Amino acid sequence: MNKFKTIVYSTLITILLVSAGFSYIYFKYINPQMENKQVVEADTTSAFTHPQGAENTRDIKDSLKIKSELNDKIFSNRQTIITKTVQKVSPAVVGINVTKVKKYRDPFTADPLFRYFFGDRIYQKEIKALGSGVIISPDGYIITNDHVAGDASEVIVTMTDGSRHPAKIIGTDHATDICLLKINGKNLPYVKMGNSNNILIGEWVIALGNPFGLFEINDKPTVTVGVVSATGMNLNAVGGRFYINMIQTDAAINTGNSGGPLVNVLGELIGMNTLIYSPNSGAGSVGVGFAIPVNKIKKIIKQLKNAGKVERDFWTGIKIQPIDERLAKYFKLSSPKGVIITSIAPNSPAQKAGLLVSDIIVGIDKFIVTDDNSIISILNQYSTGDEINVKVLRDGKIKSFKMKLEKLHD
């Protein structure tokens, strides 16, 4: 019996101790947290029922406004001098569609006997082609390449507003690959001409145009960006066209870009996209493109406006021979570059200038003469009446002579 009482008493004491412990924990920790939660809920409810809630609403609106301004600032930071220049120049870029009439001879007429009985059969065929151009004056003068529109029977110009205009060929120059067009209009968007003598190698440039006819899809030019890779590039002649003092760029230029503008970041025209180097005769860009410098364009279009062509009916009166290894050794030259004068016609521009037989021509103005092909290309950059500075090697010294390119008389 005593044992049973002991157990009961122990159990009651344990229950009391546990109850006291739970009571302590509840009032010490749990109950204050519940009271605080109720206070927070009451405060939150009052924010929407009390006048102070309106202030919180204004805070939300202010926050949204700040977020909107931040987005606008981010967008404005995306605009660079290049994107702004593109927006400025694009309206003056045009797509050019041309129709050319090509003549070809029936291959059978190559046989004299066939030609005797059936005559010389010559056929005509219309060919469609495309290219790019840029408006250079508010009254509608447009420049492009001669190989784009120089021999076209019809030229249609498409502007960025979707309008299409027939263009008149004012003049074209096959030798420099420059063609001047004109459309009717007033206050047209145009690109200001810059100065290609001030070009910096490595400066940013933008090429715009109509590669592969993409301009026709949305009446917008395709834009590529690169740098000036080199200047003063003298390339080989192509089909009677002479590419001297060209600008090299890595801005992508593709088929259809010919005649389009190459501009600097100020939006000034510094060149006209004309050629690309493409291995294996492909049509895609590998980052080696060439543009005609704008200073040459200025000179040519001035003559095209006045006469419709560039006069090159001049003569020099000299006969030349390229320098080979044997001649280079004989004249103690460091390399076989230049051409030697073998004869001079009496009373010719060369004789009047003071040139002599055995003079070695090494340069004309700022151009370097390397062989007979280079001097022909260089002379085709000039027109009748121009005066050139001929640099020759005579008696081991470089001497300069001014020679006027006089008109050749029959």
Task: Give the active site residues.
Answer: 147, 177, 258
DSSP-derived 3-state class of residue 166: strand
Handedness of CA 344, 345, 350, 354 (dihedral sign): positive
CB proximity list for 271: less than 8 A, separation 6 or greater:
196, 247, 249, 261, 262, 291, 292, 293, 294
What angle (nearest 5°) sits at the alpha carbon of residue 211, between those of residues 210 and 214? 70
What letter would DSSP give residue 259? T
Strand runs (DSSP E) across 38-121, as ranges?
93-105
DSSP state of 236: P
Q: Are 261 and 134 in contact, with CB atoms under 8 Å apart?
A: yes
Q: Which amino acid is it at 59?
A: D
| Residue 122 to residue 243: CA distance in whole angstroms | 32
Using CA atoms, how far apart are residues 274 and 173, in angstroms rounded to an integer? 14
CB within 8 Å of 221: residues ≥ 6 apart? 90, 93, 95, 132, 160, 208, 209, 210, 215, 260
Q: CA-CA distance, 322 to 334, in Å (whole number)?
A: 15
Q: Which of 161, 167, 159, 163 is nearest to 98 (CA)?
A: 167
